[in-house]
Structure formats: C-alpha cells, structure tokens
Amino acid sequence: ETNTLPFHPFENQQGDILRTEKEHQVLKEQLREAEEKFEQLQSRSLEEITALEELLKKSIEETEVSQNELDWFHQDSETQMKKWQQEKKENKENLKALRGTVKKHSDTNERYLKTIDDKEKQYNECLNTFLETSNKFANDKGKLEELIKKSQGDSQECEKRAVKAEVQPKKQNSKSLKTFLLQTWKETEIWKLKGTIAKAEGNLKVLKGLCSSASAAPVLKAQINSWEIFISNVKKQLEKVEVEYEEKIELVKNGARECLSKVEIVDFPCP
C-alpha cells in the first residue's frame, strides 16, 4: 500500500519520478546528439572559416595587385593625356602655320598669275610690234636689194665702158673716164654698205623693242651688243671707202696713171 502511494513532494501522482527519469534520459540523449552535431558543425565551420580566410587573403592580395595596376594605369593615362595634349597643342600650332603658309602661297600664286597675264599682254604687244616692224623692214629690204641690183648693173655697165675706153684711150677724155669709173665704183660700194647698215639698224630696232620685256632682256642683250658692233664696223668701212675713193679720184685728176683699181672691202659677217 505504501509503495503505490504518490511520493510527496516529488510526485503528484504515482510514476512521476519514473517518467521524469525517462524524460531526463531522453534529454541527455538529445543533448549528446546535439553536442555531436554542434562539434560537427563547429568543425565544418572552422574549415569554412579557414577557406574563407584564405579566399579573403587571396582577394586582398589580388585587390592590392589590382590597385597597383590601377595606379599604374592612372599614371600611364595621365602621361598619355599630357602627351596627347602636347601633341594637340603642337598640331594646332602646325595647323596655324600651315594655314599661314597656304595663304602666303595662295597670295603668291595670285600675284604670279597676274604677272603672267601682264607678261603675256606685253609679249603679244611686242610680237605684234615685231611682226609689223619685220614686215616693214622686209619691204625696205626688198627695195634696197632692187636698188643695189640696179646700181650693180649700172656699175658693171660703166666698168665695161671704162675698160673699153682704156683699151683705146683718147688723150682728151681719159681722165674723165677714169674719174667716172672710180665715181661709179664708189657709189656702188657706198650703196651696198648703206643698205647693209639700214638692214642691221632695222634688226637692232626690233631687238630693242623686244628688250622692253624684263624676262627677255638678258637673252637679247648679247645679240644687241653684237649688232651694235657690226653696225659700227660697217660705218667705219663706209668712211674708209669714201676717203680712199676720193683720194684715187684726186690722183686721177692730177694725172696719175696707175690708180684705176677698186678699194679693198672687208666683208664683216652678220651676227
């Protein structure tokens, strides 16, 4: 009877202690399992923490390397930027200089084109003047050649008459024939020399007219000098012919016999 009654104050009813012990055993078992699980979780957490720490360490190292690379990139970017800005400044200055050069060349080109137009007008004017003068002197040359040809014919005719007169001379007209012959020779040579001078002076006038162009002056200067020297030599020859023929005529008038000969003429080549 005693063993079946509740054991106060530990039991409210019979069997509470046994149930409490069973519950205690169950709780101990649960606690043990919980401790095992906690140890397993703690061990796994430590491994994960170690791995994460390694990963964090690696990430920090990579971050430092990346930061260094970023700093280097920034420095290189700044250097390139300064270089590009300097090149931009130089290119801008070069462009400004090139624009100035282009404008200068453009102005020079326009000035040359204007000069070419002016020179072309001068050339056309000189060419027209040359053609007109050339035609004029060609006509004058033809007239002079006809006159020289006629004078040569008259001279030859006089020479024939003089020679014929000298073969059978008469005392009363011998001097007059010789004088006439010398006079004819003199006039013929003078006509020839004057014709040459007139032709040369015409050529000289044309050359001086063309020499008005500044670009043609150096080329024509030597030719102008040659023609001036030629004209001077022919004029001296003309004076010589006139003087020597006059001397011969005076000798004939004074009774000299051996003086019926032509004056020697030097033939100067045309330039």
Residue 172: its pLDDT value, please?
40
Question: What is the CB neighbour count within 10 angstroms for residue 226?
Answer: 14
Rounded to the nearest 5 degrees, what angle is found at the Cα of 35, between the Cα atoms of 30 and 36? 100
- Radius of gyration of the chain from Cα atoms? 68
217 vs 56: CA distance, rounded Å: 95
CB atoms within 10 A of CB 83: 10
Run of H or E including 6: none
Nearest to 212 by CA among 113, 137, 112, 121: 121
Vertex 106: Cα angle to 104 and 108 (nearest 5) = 70
pLDDT computed for residue 4 by the predictor: 65
Angstrom distance (rounded) from CA 104 to CA 237: 59
User: CB neighbours (10 Å) of residue 237?
Assistant: 19
**201 phi, psi to nearest 5 deg:** -65, -35
- Given a cut of 70, the residues of the chain with pLDDT beneath it are 1-8, 10-11, 14, 144, 148, 151-152, 154-156, 158-175, 212-219, 257-259
pLDDT of residue 27: 94
Cα distance from N-terminal residue to C-terminal residue, the chain: 179
Tokens of 78: 């700044």
Confidence (pLDDT) at 50: 92
User: ∠ CA(208), CA(209), CA(210), 5° rounding?
Assistant: 90
- Give the per-residue pLDDT at 171: 45
Domain ranges of the chain: 169-254
